[in-house]
Amino acid sequence: MQTSDNMESDFVIRDATPQDLAARAELVRCSITEYDLEAFFMLFFQELTLHVCVLGGAVVFIFLGGGAGAAAALLLAVLGALGAGAALAHRAAAERLAARLPAELYGVVATRGGRVLGSASVAECWGPRRSGWLQALAVAPGWRRRGLARRLLAHVRARALVEGLESLEAAASSLQAPAAALLHAAGWEMRGSYHRPLLGAALTLPMTRMGLELPHA
CATH code where residue 141 lies: 3.40.630.30
Using a pLDDT cut of 90, give the percent of the chain over it.
45
**Residue numbers of the domain that contains 69:** 36-94
The β-bridge relationship of strands 11-15 and 2-4 is antiparallel
Residue 23 belongs to some domain of the structure: no
Q: Largest Cα–Cα distance of the chain, in whole Å?
A: 74
85-99 average pLDDT score = 70
Whether residue 180 lies inside any domain: the answer is yes
Q: Are residues 112 and 153 in the same domain?
A: yes
How many residues does this entry show for the chain? 217
On whether residue 50 sits in a domain, the answer given is yes
Does residue 26 lie within any of the structural domains?
no
Q: At a CB cut-off of 8 Å and minimum separation 6, what does 135 contact?
A: 97, 100, 104, 121, 122, 123, 170
Are 107 and 194 found together in one domain?
yes
The mean-pLDDT minimum among 13-22, 49-58, 95-104 falls in: 49-58
**pLDDT for the residue numbered 7:** 45
Report the distance separating Cα 136 and Cα 97, nearest Å: 8
The rounded distance, in Å, linking the Cα atoms of 3 and 13 is 5
Are the beta carbons of 163 and 217 closer than 8 angstroms? no
Relative orientation angle of helices 177-185 and 148-163, to the nearest 10 degrees: 60
Give the angle subtended at the CA of 105 by the CAs of 100 and 108, to the nearest 5°: 90
Q: Are residues 140 and 194 in the same domain?
A: yes
| Residue 40: pLDDT band with limits 50, 70, 90 | low
Mean of pLDDT values over 3-23:
80
Number of folded domains that form the chain: 2
CA-based end-to-end distance of the chain: 22
The residue among 165 and 45 whose pLDDT is bigger is: 165
Closest to 140 (Cα-Cα) out of 173, 186, 109: 109
Same-domain check for residues 106 and 204: yes
122-156 pLDDT tens trace = 999 877 889 999 999 999 998 988 999 999 999 99
Distance CA 151, CA 164 (A): 20
Same domain, 114 and 193: yes
pLDDT at 156: 98
Residues 157 and 188 in one domain: yes
Residues 117 and 208 in one domain: yes
pLDDT at 6: 45
